[in-house]
Amino acid sequence: MKIKTKIFLLAIVPFVIAIAGIGIGVRLQAAALVKAQRETVEAAYLSSKRTELKHYVDLAVTAITPLYEAGGDAKDDEAHQREALAMLQRMDFGPDGYFFVYDMKGDSLMHPREPDLVGHNWWLLKDPRGRLTIQRLISAANAGGGYVRYVWHRPSTHRLEPKLGYVVPLPRWGWMIGTGIYLDGVTEALTRIDASASTNITHTMTWIGVIALAGFGVITACALFLNVSEYRSADAKLKRLAQQVVESQEHERARLSRELHDGISQMMVSVKLLLESALARLEHASHPQMRVPSAESALGTALTRLSHVLREVRRISHALRPSMLDDLGLAAALEQLTRELGEETGIDMRVETDAASRAAVLPAAINTALFRVAQEALTNIVRHAQAAHVTLAFSVAEQAVNLTIADDGRGFDIDRVHADARGGIGLRNMRERLDALAGTLTIASQPGRTVVAASAPLPHPAPARAADSSQDTHRL
């Protein structure tokens, strides 16, 4: 399973599920709290209004009690009723606070804000929901008094609005007396609660979203870090593996080169010496009849072909791993390489270096890498550049080894070669060899001049090769 899939399944998906669960839980809990708060506020508001309404009605009843309890005939009682209605009509509390009086049959006896209602029967009056308003009020009064919520015209706004009424009966007169308070206050309070709750929920969800985005960003950053770390680790492992493969190849090349040089080459030299000895004996035979011209010709042809094979074996041995690279160093190996390729191809090749660089003893890894870079670059020049002159500049500085290969060929398009997946293998091999040594490879090419510059850092200053050892080696 890829690292991206692991991170997505083990981190992002649980995180998203957790954040979604938290968001849903917070929203549901907030909605429940708002509902409870609404109910609490509404209950408290209505409780206070009920107490207030009862207090108003008690005051009104107290005000007309002397008239209600006064004795007399029917004419006096009727006068007392008119005086009580007039008294109640004058009693109010604010623009929308008033008392109303109905008889138990639904006839309006007094209404200070809507006098048009007086003298008419409203027993069948219904609100917009189809409920019988006056009948409900009379029913509460017949029960000894009570509260009723209904819808009524508000005098100050001339609109139907919810109202809480409280009514009590006056049984001797057959009246229902009551008052009411419009519930705009509780509606406004509940509206404010809803708005505040909505704002709080929005802020909370916004914070949850911000936290979710921040967490997602942290997870993404960690994922990128892990991905980059995994990529770097895999790239480092791949480079180590490639380096091991290259080292194995170099060891195998060195082994094959030694076997070709010390084994097959020596045996072929021995066979050549035997054939030369046999040919010399035939040529110097004392009796002419003992000479066989055809045998001499065959032996001469065999010697010629054997010489070619021996040179080819030596060439292959040097190409695999020149012994001079290990014996005399990189500068001598480069000179041998350019000399052999120059003789084969006719291209003018030369090496430019100084005595200090020639005498420096370099690590085997740097010797091998730079030699392979030069070998690959010269091979590309021979195959593709159509150059007439090639110059190798080799120098050893205090902290790095530098090698530059310049030619006067036709050049090539560097970007196109790098973009071609099937081409540029040699250039990639050169770059990978130097990357393994923390070195650099730069290429500049144009018609008439192409420069390949390779540089490899030295772990410590390169010591000079001993002069007597160098001379002894040259003598070998």
19 domain residue, yes or no: yes
Question: Is 452 exposed, middle or buried, given 0-12, 13-18 or 19+ CB atoms closer than 10 A?
Answer: buried
CATH number at residue 150: 3.30.450.20
Q: Count structural domains, the chain.
A: 2
42 domain residue, yes or no: yes
pLDDT at 177: 95
125 domain residue, yes or no: yes
Q: Are the CB atoms for 6 and 227 separated by under 8 Å?
A: no
How many angstroms separate the Cα of 28 from the Cα of each of 71, 189, 200, 247, 357?
A: 64, 22, 13, 67, 80
pLDDT at 467: 46
How many angstroms separate the Cα of 411 from the Cα of each of 29, 37, 389, 396, 448?
A: 75, 84, 13, 27, 7
Q: Are the CB atoms for 125 and 112 separated by under 8 Å?
A: no
429 domain residue, yes or no: yes
257 domain residue, yes or no: no
Residue in the block written with tokens 């409203």: 122
Query: Which domain range does residue 434 map to?
Result: 328-475
Q: How far apart are CA 358 and CA 367, in angstroms?
A: 12
Of 133, 166, 182, the residue at which a domain comes to its end is 182
pLDDT at 168: 95
Q: How far apart are CA 249 and CA 255, in angstroms?
A: 10
pLDDT at 471: 38
290 domain residue, yes or no: no
Tokens of 192: 């404010």
| Beta bridge pairs of residue 126 | 132
The pTM for the full model equals 0.47
Q: How far is CA 380 from the centre of its chain?
A: 43
Residue in the block written with tokens 């040594």: 437
452 domain residue, yes or no: yes
pLDDT at 85: 92
pLDDT at 174: 92
Of 182, 210, 237, the residue at which a domain comes to its end is 182
Amino acid at 294: S
Of 182, 211, 226, the residue at which a domain comes to its end is 182
pLDDT at 468: 39
CATH number at residue 350: 3.30.565.10
Series of mean pLDDT values for 10-residue runs along the chain (476 residues): 65 80 85 83 84 92 89 79 91 86 94 91 92 94 93 87 93 93 80 83 85 82 77 76 70 67 72 76 62 70 80 72 74 88 90 89 86 89 90 91 93 80 74 86 91 89 56 34
Dihedral sign, Cα of residue 476, residue 379, residue 363, residue 360:
positive
Tokens of 38: 């609404």
Nearest to 339 by CA among 322, 326, 355: 322
321 domain residue, yes or no: no
